[in-house]
Structure 1
Amino acid sequence: MRYQRRAAAIGLVAAGALLFSACGSDNAGGGGEQGGANAAACGGKQNLRASGSSAQANAMTRFVTAFEQACEGQTVAYTPSGSGAGRNEFLGGQTDFAGSDSALKDDEAQRAQQRCASPAWNLPMVFGPVAIAYNLAGVPDLALDGTAIARIFNGQITTWNDPAIAALNPGKQLPAAPIIVNFRSDESGTTENFQKYLVAASNGAYGKEAEQTFQGGVGAGARGSQGVADATRNTPNSITYVESSFATRAGLGVAQVVNSGGGQPVPLTAENVGNAINDVAVTGQGNDLELDLNSIYTTRTPNAYPIVLATYEIVCSNYQDDPTGQAVRGFLTTALSPEAQQGLPEAGYVPVPDRFKQRLTTAVNAIQ
């Protein structure tokens, strides 16, 4: 059963096919005995089922392709049904693991303990930067900080030449044009994470809740990431928040962001996003790698881009049947391989930086 996608999922630019050296299986669940350095990643249950976050949909496509090429006869059917549905289906035993934009809540962790007969782990496998994308003639580069972004998106800053924006962009000719805000009209993990950033990094300027619907109270709504990117491309003097690949594909400007350290504006690059991820605080215990994303949103590290969406794979630490545990471990091992990670920036994600990958690898290897 191949990876299934729904049209309403948050789309990200699909990249070309992956090349991955074949590896063998040590039981009937994987291919034949083919050997290779990654042989231990194959075997177990042939057809894994998973569902959840649509924000990681195209990363999962890449990971599944790599897994199928590495382990003949094995696959993962991932349905991007949304984070809440993914968690519920995993907790109900309908899937082998879940993709989620947020870690399990306390009550969900208790249900997961019953479903797994072991603790469940939150493993942040996919990271994607959120761009502050804009359409402003004559301003090829724009710097903003958390407070200015919050005040734009809650309607307190209404013109491009506002003194707060001008102070961050000395020497630039900013027009007196009104700022047109475009926001996601549908429920979205991107919207929730963006607003979490605003709450954490704006020194109280946002004054709104971080929910899956936009709470700023200004602007025009458009459905989906493609919708807000198109609206911004077609509307002069407008601004939005969107996964970086959509901004790039639409030819929009992407603001540099001054992080909470107050230093130089930080461009959105894979390296700068990796700098923020490397310093993220982990609130989970042991191999449960639940993150304190506020440590990214409020990073003071030079050259760390602070607006990052993280999505988890939620797994049993010890599956009740060994073939499932082996296959989940093998799939996630493949997902962390260089062959699966390369090219992720083309699809709007960043490869897991090496320092954080070490923690993930330790946790993945411990899945039973």
Structure 2
Amino acid sequence: MTASVLSVLLASTGLTGCALLSRAGPAAGGRDAIIASGSTAQLGAINAWREGFRSIHPGARIVYRPNGSGAGVRDFVRGATAFAGSDYVLGAQEQALADGRCGDRALHLPMVVGPIAVAYNLPSVPRLRLSPATMAAVFGRTITMWDAPQIAAENPGAALPHREIDVLHRSDYSGTSHVFTSYLAATSGWPYPPSADWPGPGRGVEGSDGMAETIRESGGTIGYVEYGYASGAGLRTAQVRNGAGEYVALSPEGATKAVGGARFTGRNGDLAMTLDYSTKAQGAYPLVLITYEIVCARGTAPLARGFLRYAAGNAGQSYLSLLGYAPLPQDVVVQVRARLAAMT
């Protein structure tokens, strides 16, 4: 990829919430149009893939509405889109509805790894370290002050202020919330089940861009948001303790190491995966999400299949780390490419 093309991709990622809302063709897209919707977490990657794909297919129109994972799944189920972007694996009821829309099987295709930042605004603390147990207590509001003994013990010498923690969560139906609560439930004493609807206390804000902007503008805040949004807003992010006992700073490389321990749990060609949030892999940043494209195993339009093949190809995966994401591990991307090649 040339430097000029890459600069276009970086400029087009829209990580501050720029949305593509143009109208094109019939609901799910025609021969020269693709309409899709869903995860806000993958918007930057989708925009970059869009530009790269259109350099090869100049007449193609790709519209992606970043309306959240839940809304994207609903759009797909009612036949309004060619595929849905989702940060979580469909539950049994949603899977049945998606299968019904397809008249066969709806598949999960992992396409991008998104590290989730625990972002905060505390000028006196340039580096913050958090274990899963302390993080769960903060977001569950059993720890309410920044200078609480549990936080101080993990951050010796830090200038922690005697100030109440302003805990933020997503107010909308969010795949990022589902992943974050899944992580807390798997690694700590978090008392709530995983949910795309935030189950605990705190102050709600809408959307990834809203989360990043609120943290940036409000002192004493802490929240969770995809790395690209945190980076775009210039936010400080906590180091997170993994299963090996290391406090690891957020990075695309650390996220890819964490996904290396995931396993496929889908059946009959479905590539749904289960993450090991307690991974002991050295240098793994454990708080990650996998964004899936949910598609029909049969009947997906050729242009949509071509776009997804581009996204899973060497070009589509090669520059993700520059956009705040992590590329898929090689063994995973091989499976995705094989599944796309088998689709009709």
* Fold in common (TM above 0.5): yes
Structure 1 partner of 2:294: 314
Structure 2 partner of 1:366: 342
Cα gap change, 1:94 to 1:177, in 2 (>3 Å):
closer
Question: CA separation in 1, counterparts of 2:77 and 2:207?
Answer: 27
2:64 is paired with a residue whose SS is strand
1:58, distance to aligned residue in structure 2 (A):
2.5
Alignment gaps of 5+ in structure 2: 1-12, 19-29
Question: CA separation in 2, counterparts of 1:255 and 1:167?
Answer: 15
Q: How does 1:91-110 map to 2 (within 5 A)?
A: 91-110=77-96
1:251 aligns with 2:234: yes
Cα gap change, 1:226 to 1:108, in 2 (>3 Å):
closer
1:73 is paired with a residue whose SS is coil
1:108, distance to aligned residue in structure 2 (A):
3.7
1:124 aligns with 2:100: no
Post-superposition CA distance 1:50-72 (Å, at most 9, x none): 22223322321222222211224
Question: CA separation in 2, counterparts of 1:246 and 1:349?
Answer: 10
Structure 2 partner of 1:330: 306
2:113 is paired with a residue whose SS is strand
Structure 2 partner of 1:32: none
Are 2:77 and 2:98, in contact at CA under 8 Å, matched by a contact in 1? yes
1:255, distance to aligned residue in structure 2 (A):
0.6
Normalised by the length of structure 1, the TM-score is 0.78
Alpha-carbon RMSD: 2.6
Question: CA separation in 2, counterparts of 1:94 and 1:182?
Answer: 32
Structure 2 partner of 1:283: 265
Are 2:17 and 2:208, in contact at CA under 8 Å, matched by a contact in 1? no
1:86 aligns with 2:72: yes
Q: Which residue identity lines up with residue 229 of structure 1 in the other structure?
A: A
Question: CA separation in 1, counterparts of 2:118 and 2:103?
Answer: 43
Post-superposition CA distance 1:36-94 (Å, at most 9, x none): xxxxxxxx943233222233223212222222112243333323333333323333333
Q: Which residue identity lines up with residue 213 of structure 1 in the other structure?
A: D
Structure 2 partner of 1:207: 191
Normalised by the length of structure 2, the TM-score is 0.83
Question: CA separation in 2, counterparts of 1:148 and 1:172?
Answer: 16
2:248 is paired with a residue whose SS is coil
Cα gap change, 1:105 to 1:137, in 2 (>3 Å):
closer
1:266 aligns with 2:248: yes
Are 2:16 and 2:233, in contact at CA under 8 Å, matched by a contact in 1? no
Q: Which residue identity lines up with residue 152 of structure 2 in the other structure?
A: A
Q: Which residue identity lines up with residue 331 of structure 1 in the other structure?
A: F
1:61 is paired with a residue whose SS is helix
Question: CA separation in 2, counterparts of 1:134 and 1:354?
Answer: 33
1:121 is paired with a residue whose SS is strand
1:178 is paired with a residue whose SS is coil
Post-superposition CA distance 1:224-267 (Å, at most 9, x none): 33333333233333212112223223332211100133x22011
Question: CA separation in 2, counterparts of 1:92 and 1:271?
Answer: 37
1:346, distance to aligned residue in structure 2 (A):
4.4
1:327 is paired with a residue whose SS is helix
Cα gap change, 1:83 to 1:228, in 2 (>3 Å):
closer
Are 1:86 and 1:100, in contact at CA under 8 Å, matched by a contact in 2? yes
Which of 158, 167, 187 is the equivalent residue of 1:172?
Answer: 158
1:138 is paired with a residue whose SS is coil
Alignment gaps of 5+ in structure 1: 1-9, 16-43
Are 1:131 and 1:255, in contact at CA under 8 Å, matched by a contact in 2? yes
Which of 341, 348, 351 is the equivalent residue of 2:327?
Answer: 351
Are 1:154 and 1:217, in contact at CA under 8 Å, matched by a contact in 2? yes
1:123, distance to aligned residue in structure 2 (A):
0.6
Question: CA separation in 1, counterparts of 2:80 and 2:171?
Answer: 30
Radius of gyration: which is bigger? 1
Question: CA separation in 2, counterparts of 1:69 and 1:11?
Answer: 18
Question: CA separation in 2, counterparts of 1:183 and 1:48?
Answer: 32
After superposing on structure 2, the runs of 4+ consecutive aligned residues of structure 1 that deviate more than 6 Å are: none
Cα gap change, 1:243 to 1:115, in 2 (>3 Å):
closer
Structure 2 partner of 1:298: 278
Which of 55, 61, 75 is the equivalent residue of 2:47?
Answer: 61
Cα gap change, 1:172 to 1:280, in 2 (>3 Å):
same
Are 2:76 and 2:83, in contact at CA under 8 Å, matched by a contact in 1? yes
1:307, distance to aligned residue in structure 2 (A):
1.2
Cα gap change, 1:292 to 1:140, in 2 (>3 Å):
same
Question: CA separation in 1, counterparts of 2:122 and 2:225?
Answer: 16
Report percent identity of matched pairs.
Answer: 41
